[in-house]
Amino acid sequence: MDAIIIQILNGLDKGSAYALIALGLTLIFGTLGVVNFAHGALFMIGAFCAVTMQKLLTLSTQTIDPEKVDFLGKPLVVDTPYVVNWFGPETGAAIIDWAVPLAILLAIPVMILIGFVMERGLIKHFYKRAHADQILVTFGLAIVLQEIIKYFYGANPIPSPAPAVFRGSLDFGVWIGFEANQIIYPYWRLVYFAFSAVIIGGVFAFLQFTTFGMVVRAGMADRETVGILGIDIDKRFTLMFGLAAAVAGVAGVMYVPILSPNYNMGMDFLVLSFVVVVVGGMGSLPGAVLAGFLLGILQSFASMNEIKSLIPGIDQIIIYLVAIIILLTRPRGLMGRKGVMEG
Amino acid sequence: MLKLDRKDTLLLVIVALMTLAAPIILNPFPTGSALAQFNAGYPDLMQRFVIYGIFAIGFNILFGLTGYLSFGHAAFLGVGSYSAVWMFKLLSMNVLPAIVFSVIIAGLFAVVIGYVSLRRSGIYFSILTLAFAQMSFNMAYSVLTPITNGETGLQLTLNDPRILDGARAATGLPVTNLFGFEMRSTAHLDIAGWGFDFSVGYYLSAVIMLLAFYLSMRIFRSPFGLMLRAIKSNQNRLSYTGLNARPYTLAAFVISGMYAGLAGGLLAAMDPLAGAERMQWTASGEVVLMTILGGAGTLIGPVLGAGFIKYFENIFSKINDSILHQWFSFMPDGIEDFLVTLVHPFIGKGWHLTLGLLFMAVVIFLPGGLVEGGQRIGRLFRRNKAGDTASPATTPAE
């Protein structure tokens, strides 16, 4: 029993990341009808926003402390971050400690801007062209974005820790009546799960309860009619592209403490997220979220030792296997609507 | 000749001459000169030209003719490499059985994957093939380690059985050969400062590439090829006429998988080791790039694209800042430094950045690839000429 709960919990954080990326992919696909192979790169850029924030906050002035000496007997050079100078030692240290969550503030405008530029500058010209062309051009863009990041940040993973408060683990088992130390779950993963739940809820609420969201949903269902009614649907769809980019970006920011970002992490997540979208059903937002969590949990179950000894290597291929089975038996995906991209 | 019409025969002859004379054509600069770094006439690189040419020709039979965009073709390349190395380990260092075996295995693999993936078309097909390739890649790293040797890659060892070669006393690792001609043996020729290398491995690959090219030509011109084009232009209409498209697409898929296996087998024959990274999806992306860049659906396009990408990959990776400084040294110092910093991100390790930009540019502005570019330029000249001779007559009829 406790093993099962552990696996479900372990699956949640990965599932959250899949769900967030797949949500963005589906938003773009549902509104603009574009298959965006560069979405993983957006996730990766988000993660590097966190790295940048960390670097910005620890920008330091060098002062010479005449009272102390280093081991060579010279006066000690002390690095003091600007934030410490500005806000005093305690607040300053706290701000640096919270660099990763604070990076969301940086990531949202950056990602919306990138999404905007991408849509207006590139994707716009590909609405009328074949899906293969869309895949190819966004694939090229993904390579370019990835290489730009590699040029500035190098090829090695850059670790950025979570705030100190969340660094420990939660003894989840005692809450639900198990012995101590049986079910242990890192705090940050819990934070990530809660965070993604908030974001997903936010996106759904935005689409469901605002006039803007209503128009977007109408546009997803029948773009032409909405246009005939005198609504500039293109402008709203551009905004939705920015929103999808921002969702992928913040998903990347918060994932940094779980997985140190490197320049090709986006590609790994992209392939899996596509599988998630396909399993959930192309164009279905609830399907994407459901399939994200489902596949995340499934993957963590498959990596249990008991199951691995039964079917060796199953943890590596389970997601693809499920996707293949789903595509062959139910091409619409779990929650796909009839007639949407049935190939 | 060879059941081809005149235009195709001419193309085949030109390609054949170019390939066979490649060691000379690709070495236009004397050995010692400053431009010698642009020479591409050494065996290793030329082998890669023709082998990836085969890979791209095969991919083009699927993508260019049927329009099915596979994102998992590298899996067949990897499977081909693994099977070839296993043949070297178990049977003989002769490359012939290894290559035949790799084509067969890749073909079988393609039948299985194709049978499943081709039930869907469009992006679903791309994602399915991608999923299969990723699955093979992951399995090569984990479960299949006894067969693939995991991260180290499959290599020859001294105590492999090698049944047919058993009589020969092995001192050190044996080399791949074709009935005694060693793949790596090279004849070097010096003519007044120019050096040319004629390698057995290259010529074997080149001959196989020519055969592969001829075969693809025949497929393009056959009723079968016409059927594949019909699938690309409108599959619905095809099925309304009562024809089932799936056997044709499956055949195309398997043929292109066998081409990829052949390329993989040749790669292993030139250098007998195989690693899982050959199956990674970036490798699948690369063959898509080659085909698109050259011109999908054209005969010569994939070969051009493969050569273009492999050549510039090699050249760009070699250029470094000091070479750039040499080039721009005629400029004033400030501008020189500025230019060097400007170009720096695109060279050396930044080759992939250049590749990505190039790829985007091709998809955006020149969807037909280099071949279409050539045609456009050709048409421009022809129009100019026509305009010169008969300019008054070109007024529109309406």
Residues B356, A331: C-beta atoms closer than 8 Å: no
Assess contact for B163 and B91: CB atoms under 8 A. yes
B85 CB within 8 Å of a chain A CB? no
> Measured between CB atoms, does B236 come within 8 Å of chain A?
no
Percent of chain A with pLDDT over 70: 94
> Nearest CA of chain B to the CA of A83: how many Å?
32
Among B115, B125, B135, pick the best mutation site for testing chain A contact (most A Cβ within 10 A): B135
| Bridge partners (DSSP) listed for residue A76 | A65
Q: Find, in chain B, the residue whose alpha carbon is nearest to that of A154.
A: B349
H/E element, B177: strand B177-178
- Which has more confidence, B206 or A168? B206
**Which neighbouring-strand residues pair with B194?**
B191
Calculate the alpha carbon distances from B244 to A69, A80, B9, B126 in Å. Answer: 84, 73, 33, 21
Verify whether the Cβ–Cβ distance A139 to B285 is below 8 Å.
yes
Q: What confidence score (pLDDT) does residue B75 get?
A: 92
Determine the residue of chain A that is closest to B235 in CA distance.
A343
Best of B363, B365, B366, B372 to disrupt the A interface (most A CBs within 10 Å) is B363
Query: pLDDT digit string (tens) for A57-79?
Result: 888 777 777 677 777 777 777 77
In chain B, positions 98-127, which contact chain A (CB-CB < 8 Å)? Answer: 116, 119-127
Question: Do the beta carbons of residue B29 and residue B36 sit within 8 Å?
Answer: yes
| Count helices and strands in chain A by DSSP H and E runs | 14, 4
CB B68 within 8 A of CB B59: no
Pick among A139, A150, A265, A325 to test the B interface (most B CBs inside 10 A): A139
Rounded to whole angstroms, the Cα distance separating B82 from B150 reads 12
Contact status of A228 with chain B (Cβ, < 8 Å) = no
* CA–CA min distance B81, chain A (Å): 22
Determine the residue among A128, A143, A273, A295 to mutate to test chain B binding: the one whose Cβ has the most chain B Cβ atoms within 10 Å.
Answer: A143
The token pair at A100 is 């990763």
So what's the pLDDT on residue A42? 92
Decide: helix, strand or coil at residue A320.
helix
Is residue A63 helix, strand or coil? strand
CB neighbours of residue A268 within 10 Å: 15
- Cβ atoms of B302 and B290 closer than 8 Å: yes
Chain B closest-CA separation from residue A216 CA (Å): 24
**What pLDDT sits at residue B395?**
46
| Chain-chain contact of A275 with B131 (C-beta, under 8 angstroms) | yes
Q: Does residue A222 surpass a pLDDT of 90?
A: no
Chains A and B form CB pairs within 8 A to the count of 112
Across the interface, do A144 and B357 touch by the CB < 8 Å criterion? yes
Q: Do A317 and B138 touch (CB under 8 A)?
A: yes
Q: Does B141 touch chain A (CB under 8 A)?
A: yes
Tokens 């809450």: give the residue: A175
How does residue A109 score in pLDDT terms, banded at 50, 70 and 90? very high
**Do A317 and B125 count as a contact with CB atoms less than 8 A apart?**
no
Contact A317 B139 (CB under 8 A): yes
Amino acid at B382: R
Please tell me which residue of chain B has the smallest CA distance to A130.
B122
Token digits of residue B104: 């067969």
B38 within 8 A of B253, measured Cβ to Cβ:
no
- Quick one: average pLDDT of A246-256? 90
- Look at the domain B6-164+174-279 and name its fold: ABC transporter involved in vitamin B12 uptake, BtuC (1.10.3470)
Residue B29 near chain A (CB below 8 Å): no
User: Does residue A328 belong to the interface with chain B, where contact is any CB pair within 8 Å?
Assistant: yes
pLDDT confidence band for A27 (50 / 70 / 90): confident
**Domains of chain A from N-terminus onward:** 2-58+107-329 (1.10.3470)
Indicate the pairing of strand B181-182 with strand A75-81.
Answer: unpaired
- DSSP SS3 for A290: helix
Residue-by-residue pLDDT tens, chain B, 398 positions: 567 788 888 888 888 888 888 777 777 777 777 677 777 777 888 888 899 999 999 999 999 899 898 988 999 999 999 999 888 888 877 888 889 999 999 999 999 999 988 888 778 888 888 888 888 888 888 777 777 877 777 887 777 777 776 655 556 677 777 777 777 777 777 777 777 778 888 888 889 999 999 999 999 989 999 999 998 888 888 889 888 888 999 999 999 999 999 999 999 888 888 888 888 877 888 888 889 888 888 888 899 899 888 888 888 777 777 777 777 777 777 777 777 777 777 777 777 888 888 888 888 888 888 888 888 888 888 877 665 554 444 444 44
Residues of A in contact with B363 (CB under 8 A): 133, 136-137, 140
B142 at interface of A, judged by CB pairs closer than 8 A: yes
Q: What is the per-residue pLDDT for B299?
A: 87
Q: Check if the beta carbon of residue A150 is closer than 8 Å to that of residue A44.
A: no
Partner-chain contact B120 A317, CB within 8 Å: no
3-state secondary structure of B250: helix
CA distance A338 to chain B (A): 15
- Strands A60-69, A75-81: parallel, antiparallel or unpaired by DSSP? antiparallel
Task: List, for residues A280-305, the tens digit of each pLDDT value.
Answer: 887 788 888 999 999 888 888 888 77
Residue of B nearest to A148 (CA): B353
Structure confidence by residue, pLDDT tens digits, A300-342? 888 877 777 777 777 778 888 888 888 778 877 787 766 555 4
User: Which residues on chain B are in Cβ contact (under 8 Å) with A133?
Assistant: 363, 367
CB-CB under 8 Å, A331 with B120: yes
DSSP, collapsed to helix, strand or coil, labels residue A66 as: strand
Least confident piece of the model among A55-64, A228-237, A244-253, B244-253: A55-64
d(CA A298, CA A14): 10
Taking an 8 Å cut-off on Cβ atoms, the answer to whether B353 and A136 are in contact is no
